[in-house]
Amino acid sequence: MLKFATRVQSLKSSSIMEISAKAQELKAQGFDVISLAAGEPDFNTPEPIQKAATQAMAEGITRYTPAPGFLALREVIAEMVTRENGYEVSPDEVTIVSGAKHGIYLALQCLVEPGEAILVPTPAWVSYSPMVELTGAHIIPLPLFEEDGFRPNVDRWKGLAIPPNAKGIIINSPNNPTGVVYTKEDLTRLVSWAIQRNLWILSDEIYEKILYDGAKHTSVSALGPEAKNCTVTVSGFSKSYSMTGWRLGWTIAPKEFSKKLGALQSQSNSHTTSFVQWAAITAAKLPPTILQSMVSEFDTRRQYCMKRLDGLSDYLTYTRPTGAFYFFINMSKFLVPRKMSDVEFAKTLLEKEYLGVVPGSSFGKENCMRISYATSLKNLETAFNRLETFLKTH
């Protein structure tokens, strides 16, 4: 009889992936499902990247690579970040990992002791808490408020008792699920607050290149050497170059930390797929026009969603996103009078209208829902028609 180890006993699959799988299942059964659940660009990966991968395979780049990744790739990532993000990075601070998610997992395994507490501004992406729990630690949510536009406001946390076993904080801007981009001032205050409390920082910057309305991305490590020394940055091409299925990301951390992270990788998945790494060199060198055209298409969809959401203001409120491709929508006006939970709402919406969304409680905030607009305008139009029908008839 197989018995689960304690560390995985309460582990569940990613709720987003489960909802997406359920939507796929209904689709396969012939139902006309539209899923706004998973945040995944609907474009194919740009052709030069595809070509680079097939060429790499043909040329025999099909064998084991160094555990931290090919030096040639770590060099181009270091150059790109130094040029674009405003802080100096050397190749030995870069580790190529199998997606940003895997980078976060490895970093937490290297950082966290059992029994510790990790602070997470919340609402927050669904996978941080389970990954922290796998280390034997737990998270303490730091509330973000809709009235503050879901931007971090350290004054709000004055009354919170931060226990002495709190060792780190996870920061995510541009943010999933809110789409909010923290300003440089927001981040400076948040990072000083963290440094004063002697916390390490895990900065998840996976949406750094998906920005609208002139919003600017600030990297935590660009705030100065003190910030850089206590930060592990995670990013990748999954979102910006439509490479979600390729499983490639990177971490940037001080050299000694990166060495340990590479050692952990060498003892687990060994490294990221060889020809995927090779193609990523091409991705890092692509002209900005390719990215700009995808972001501009997302922006058109974002504008469309805002128009439709504004038309439903009797039922919901939302915070205008300036990054990533999500809307985090407060459904209290609709849900509270009907005594309906956000989970029940999302379940019924899928069953009755064949529309997939993620309930806010998956991100630690009830009475809300997250939708992704990384899908065609046609799908968005149908999705909003279905949502409107549901709200007006229930």
Query: What track of x and - describes contact with ligand GLU for positions 151 through 190 (by CB under 6 A)?
Result: -------------------------x--------------
Partner from ligand GLU, ligand PMP, none binding residue 116, C-beta < 5-8 Å depending on class: none
Among 16, 211, 232, 295, binds ligand GLU (CB under 6 A): 16
Q: For residue 177, is the peptide bond before it cis, meaning its omega torsion is within 30 degrees of 0?
A: yes
Among 24, 55, 127, 268, binds ligand GLU (CB under 6 A): 127
Asked if 176 is part of the footprint of ligand PMP (rule: CB under 6 A), the reply reads: yes
Partner from ligand PMP, ligand GLU, none binding residue 14, C-beta < 5-8 Å depending on class: ligand GLU
Asked if 238 is part of the footprint of ligand PMP (rule: CB under 6 A), the reply reads: yes
Rg of the chain on CA atoms, in Å: 21
What is the full DSSP assignment across 26-61?
HHHTT---EE--S----SPPPHHHHHHHHHHHHTT-
Asked if 101 is part of the footprint of ligand PMP (rule: CB under 6 A), the reply reads: yes
* φ, ψ of residue 301 in degrees (nearest 5): -70, -40
Among 33, 36, 39, 194, binds ligand GLU (CB under 6 A): 39
Residue whose entry in the numeric block shows the structure tokens 């130094």: 82
Q: Which residues are bridge partners to 163 per DSSP?
A: none
Partner from ligand GLU, ligand PMP, none binding residue 291, C-beta < 5-8 Å depending on class: none
Amino acid at site 132: V
Among 74, 101, 302, 365, binds ligand GLU (CB under 6 A): 101
> What H or E segment, with its residue span, contains residue 326?
strand 326-330
| Minimum distance of ligand GLU from residue 345's CB (angstroms) | 18
List the one residue out of 13, 39, 12 whose CA is nearest residue 356. 39
User: How, if at all, do strands 231-236 and 249-252 pair?
Assistant: antiparallel
The footprint of ligand PMP on residues 4-63 (CB under 6 A) is 39
Residue whose entry in the numeric block shows the structure tokens 């549901």: 390
Cβ neighbours of residue 269 closer than 8 Å, sequence gap 6 or more: 98, 102
The footprint of ligand PMP on residues 122-141 (CB under 6 A) is 125
Q: Round to whole Å and give the CA distance between 244 and 374.
A: 12
Asked if 204 is part of the footprint of ligand PMP (rule: CB under 6 A), the reply reads: yes
| Minimum distance of ligand PMP from residue 207's CB (angstroms) | 7
| Minimum distance of ligand GLU from residue 315's CB (angstroms) | 23
Q: Which is nearer to ligand GLU, 228 or 239 (CB)?
A: 239
Q: Round to whole Å and give the CA distance between 261 and 232.
A: 11
| Minimum distance of ligand PMP from residue 163's CB (angstroms) | 25
| Minimum distance of ligand GLU from residue 337's CB (angstroms) | 29
Helix-strand-coil split of the chain, %, nearest 5: 45, 15, 40
Q: Which is nearer to ligand GLU, 74 or 239 (CB)?
A: 239
Q: Which is nearer to ligand PMP, 199 or 206 (CB)?
A: 206
Q: For residue 41, is the peptide bond before it cis, meaning its omega torsion is within 30 degrees of 0?
A: no
| Minimum distance of ligand PMP from residue 18's CB (angstroms) | 15
166 and 118 Cβ atoms separated by less than 8 Å: yes
Partner from ligand PMP, ligand GLU, none binding residue 348, C-beta < 5-8 Å depending on class: none
251 and 265 Cβ atoms separated by less than 8 Å: no
Pick the stretch among 80-88, 95-103, 187-195, 254-262 that binds ligand PMP (CB under 6 A).
95-103
Partner from ligand GLU, ligand PMP, none binding residue 342, C-beta < 5-8 Å depending on class: none
CA distances from 180 to 4, 51, 204, 207, 232 (A): 39, 34, 13, 11, 21
- How far from the centroid of its chain's Cα atoms is residue 194's Cα? 21
Interface with ligand PMP by CB under 6 A: which residues?
39, 99-101, 125, 172, 176, 204, 206, 236, 238, 244, 249
Interface with ligand GLU by CB under 6 A: which residues?
14, 16-17, 38-40, 101, 125, 127, 176
